[in-house]
Copies of this chain bind each other. A is one copy, B any other.
Amino acid sequence: MKVRVFVTPKKGVLDPQGVVIETGLRQLGFAGADQVRVGKVIDLVVHTDDRDDASARVHAMCKTFLTNPVIEDYTFTLDEAP
């Protein structure tokens, strides 16, 4: 099962990459774009056909390894297509 995990900085946590991108966009003339936040997207394949099993495993991965739960939130999507 294909899994796509989104790891984003929690609301209120300073996001230097977002600030840099926002400044860069403005300097390049892209007006009217703001509230930029930068996170990670992690694509992986989990070898199971059971959505609940996959979901439980991805939650465990996220909580123990893929994210820093103090400063980051995560969500993920499961895609059963091969």
Contact = CB atoms under 8 A, between A and B. Distances in A.
A64 B30 CA distance: 11
Interface residues on A, range: 20 to 34
Interface string A21-64: 11011001010111111111111111110000000010011001
A21 B57 contact: no
B42 A40 contact: no
Given A38-B41, A40-B38, A40-B40, A47 B65 contact: no
Given A30-B61, A32-B47, A40 B41 contact: yes
B42 A38 contact: yes
Interface of A: 6-8, 18, 21-22, 24-25, 28, 30, 32-48, 57, 60-61, 64-66
4 smallest CB-CB distances across A and B, nearest first, come from: A32-B47, A35-B45, A36-B44, A41-B41
